[in-house]
Amino acid sequence: MNRKTFSIVLILSVIACGAASAADRAKTEPGNVTVVFDHPEQFADVKDAYMPTDKGRDAILSEISKFIIERASSYLQAGRKLEVTFTEIDLAGEFEPQLGPSFSDVRIMKDIYAPRIDLEFKITDADGKVLSEGKRKLRDLNYLQRLLLSSNDPLRYEKDILNDWLHDEIKSAATAAR
């Protein structure tokens, strides 16, 4: 393939990807997803360090909320709404102060520190009819064996199990509605 042909193929590929991405975004508006954290100050572990800060907790919860809104918006069919209320979060890993002060902001990952997320959800259609609702306890005891694309995201394990849940739950609601 010569350079000119390659350039044309590359440009057409970029245009096609952009059109597909725009079509995905058009499925539903991000306003169709509501995320609530029920008493986050009581969550088991949403810490940014061994000596946590409210600002750090708020940043972590904001990142989780943003992830849910973006991902659920891409999965939801037009006119559908999702409400998610988090009732408990225990992030993967744990701070181990016995390792010394230089480790006070380092999360140690071990099998015994698996992520735990408890939530309640409701999926409704454009008329407000409830298509699916329930409570879920998301756990992944094998979280360290997962093959993840992003190894730099500090919330990669939580996002991975949330993504699995969103995909399965929204897909089930879409199938049940047919």
Q: What is the mean pLDDT of residues 68-96?
A: 92
> What does the pLDDT read at residue 178?
56
Determine the structural domain holding residue 154 and report its residue range. 30-176
Q: Is residue 4 part of a domain?
A: no
Mean pLDDT value across the chain: 80
Residue 19 belongs to a domain: no
- Provide mean pLDDT across the span 146-171: 87
pTM of the model: 0.76
Is the pLDDT at 9 greater than 90, yes or no? no
> Regarding predicted confidence, which is higher, 60 or 25?
60
The encoded tokens of residue 136 equal 């879920």
Number of domain units in the chain: 1
Is residue 126 domain-resident? yes
Residue 25 has pLDDT above 60, yes or no: no
Residue 9, in any domain of the structure: no
The answer to whether residue 18 is domain-embedded is no
User: Predicted confidence band at 30 (pLDDT cuts at 50, 70, 90)?
Assistant: low
Summarize the confidence of residues 153-159 as an average pLDDT. Answer: 92
Tell whether 127 is covered by a domain: yes
Judge whether 167 lies within some domain.
yes
CATH of the domain at 120: 3.40.50
Residue 7, burial from CB neighbour count under 10 angstroms (0-12, 13-18, 19+): exposed
- Answer yes or no: are the C-beta atoms of 51 and 2 closer than 8 Å: no
What is the reported pLDDT for 119? 98
CA distances from 91 to 7, 31, 79, 109 (A): 45, 26, 32, 10
